[in-house]
Structure 1
Amino acid sequence: METILDQQIVTTREIVTMHTPPAQPGFLGQDHTARAIIQTDFDHSDPFIILMDDQLDKKNDEPVGGPHPHAGFETVTLILEGELGDTEHTMKAGDFQIMTAGSGIVHTETIDRKMKMRILQMWLNLPKQERWAQPRVQDIVLENVPKLINDEQEIRVYSGSFAGLTSPIQNYVPLIVADLQLKPGAQTSRQLPASYTAFLYVIDGSVSIGNDQSTLREGQVGWLNRMSGDGLSELKLLAGEGGVRVILYAAQPQQDPIVSYGPFIADTQDEIRELYRDFRQGKMNHVSTLPQDRQIVY
């Protein structure tokens, strides 16, 4: 359905695909479960490569995780519960980080105590011309996230511009990440660039989307239709009887093919081999050694 808004034809976003990602054993041991939120070819999810919903209920003090490399993309991390990091830098519930791995970086995610934790971590493709950008880390703590709060809704915008809010995060790829919490029966209608790839992931409750009123429930993912051109689209949400908490991801597709292997994204297999060689030879620095102007906290 199309409406006219400020002399522009605005198409309503509708759910075109939905699924319920199953919980799988995670790589951190028996206390770790992981859900692969993106279950479609990159041609359809571009620029989103993978998104994992990682849940950990750690019942001992044995360390898990550790240092590992990345290159050729960005990690986009939202903490839903618990903490992640070390004594130098700890992310807590509601905090958000974009790490530009770019030309190559090593970072450490070690958990060495009992804790419950839930994080959403995405791999976001970099534009081809920025594939080997200098590594950079940007953090925004919950208290500084732009927010809109009223009697019916609470919206936090971690990246991009949405609902009249704009995040300070600097983006190579135009990216919206927003946490929307609606009270029971509440409605909201918000604009999105029509060309953005977009999907919703329900953390709690249920929500109906668009004019079709397709319903997503807790643990379900809904991919939205996408249009071409520079116009706007309308995202209509109606919370269910118990309200809803849903995370919106939307970004401009880059239309650059990628080669993925292990912790690296590249344009060719030769580049993948070079990245492994650089890592083995110690040519990738640890994120903690980045100069202060490449470690940005908002």
Structure 2
Amino acid sequence: MENQRITRRIASIKTPPVQPGFLGPDHTARAVIYNEFAHSDPFILLMDDFLDKKDDKPVGGPHPHAGFETVSLLLEGEIGDETHTMKQGDFQMMTAGSGIVHSETIEGRSRMRLLQLWLNLPKADRWAEPRVQDLAFDNAPAAEKNGVRMVLYSGSFAGLHSPVKNHVPLVVADMRLQPGARLNETLPASYNAFLYVIEGEIRIGDDEQNLRSNQIGWLDRGEAGAISDISVLAGNVGARAVLYAGEPQHDEIVSYGPFISDHQDEIKGLYNDFRHGKMKHVSTLGDGQRFHY
């Protein structure tokens, strides 16, 4: 019997508050996803960081990660490390895997807004060889139709296909909608999916439930193997929203500091590796571990 096709609706809405960031008084952050992995799988956390730096003192620095992937979309400004500078609209997926050290440093005065997602790795790929994939805004697949401008950074969606390689099936799409424009597309029904509104407001699904700026709306899910429809209607001032959709991995995780693992004792080992210099810095990755699209 063929699986039933569903039209996605909003299952829950959250308005994450603005909180002080760790980079000083000019840094604020919204914890869009935080400490809710049983619900958000494969998404571990999502931070919306805003920096309006008014002095010349560098901020940021080297720090380790292991056991997951960071998925970064730069909405405004510039940020970089020793090997690559991200500019507005650029995308980066860093597979920390067995362990990597990188430096997100901001020199001088800067205005920057960054969405950074922590994405779980499948258990079989938890300790994969680290790699970094950079997709420039100018090279990202894009299309404009019926008042909707779509930029696709990961996965396949709306007839577009990203070159970014995925351990976990993942769609990341930045959409800008003109006032009253509507998007109608399909997603695998089993994908856990949400929309985060950057500007304006949108209405989701047949019941057109409203989602406004700085809100996250989680969509309901269907059965594995089925297809679902997603409908997004822009309000009277237009809107910009980012869609994240990924296949849940259904594995429990242990999270501590910058590390994700399957067992608590592995966390101690990761800290030990970092302290003893056993984690490579991103600047040492070879051609087979660094990809530019």
Structure 2 length-normalised TM: 0.98
In 2: Cα distance, 1:264 partner to 1:157 partner: 28
Matched, 1:221 2:216: yes
Contact 2:46 2:117 in 1 (8 A): yes
Match of 2:207 in 1: 212
Contact 2:81 2:102 in 1 (8 A): no
Matched, 1:295 2:286: no
Secondary structure in 2 aligned to 1:279? helix
CA-to-aligned-CA distance 1:26-48 (integer Å, 9 cap, x gap): 00000000000014621110000
Alignment-mate amino acid for residue 246 of structure 2: A
In 1: Cα distance, 2:220 partner to 2:206 partner: 13
Secondary structure in 2 aligned to 1:37? strand
Secondary structure in 1 aligned to 2:33? coil
Q: 1:239 aligns with which of 205, 219, 234?
A: 234
Deviation at residue 216 of structure 1 after TM alignment: 0.5
In 2: Cα distance, 1:127 partner to 1:57 partner: 36
CA-to-aligned-CA distance 1:197-227 (integer Å, 9 cap, x gap): 0000000011000011101011111000011
Runs of 4+ in 1 over 6 A off after TM superposition: none
CA-to-aligned-CA distance 1:20-71 (integer Å, 9 cap, x gap): 1100000000000000001462111000000000000000011111000000
Q: What does residue range 80-91 of structure 1 map to in structure 2 within 5 Å?
A: 80-86=75-81, 88-91=83-86
Unaligned runs of 5+ in 2: none
Matched, 1:69 2:69: no
Q: What does residue range 139-158 of structure 1 map to in structure 2 within 5 Å?
A: 139-158=134-153
Alignment-mate amino acid for residue 101 of structure 1: A
Secondary structure in 2 aligned to 1:148? strand
CA-to-aligned-CA distance 1:245-273 (integer Å, 9 cap, x gap): 00000000000100000100001111000
Q: What does residue range 1-298 of structure 1 map to in structure 2 within 5 Å?
A: 9-39=4-34, 41-86=36-81, 88-298=83-293
In 2: Cα distance, 1:123 partner to 1:199 partner: 15
Secondary structure in 1 aligned to 2:288? helix
In 2: Cα distance, 1:101 partner to 1:218 partner: 31
Secondary structure in 2 aligned to 1:277? helix
Unaligned runs of 5+ in 1: 1-6
Contact 2:3 2:225 in 1 (8 A): no
In 2: Cα distance, 1:185 partner to 1:62 partner: 44
Counterparts in 2 of 1:265 and 1:86: CA distance versus 1, 3 Å: closer
Secondary structure in 2 aligned to 1:270? helix
Alignment-mate amino acid for residue 116 of structure 2: Q
Secondary structure in 1 aligned to 2:5? strand
Deviation at residue 86 of structure 1 after TM alignment: 3.9
Contact 2:154 2:171 in 1 (8 A): yes
In 2: Cα distance, 1:273 partner to 1:188 partner: 47
In 1: Cα distance, 2:276 partner to 2:14 partner: 42
Deviation at residue 88 of structure 1 after TM alignment: 3.5
Alignment-mate amino acid for residue 91 of structure 1: M
In 2: Cα distance, 1:229 partner to 1:75 partner: 26
Deviation at residue 99 of structure 1 after TM alignment: 0.1
* Alignment RMSD: 1.1
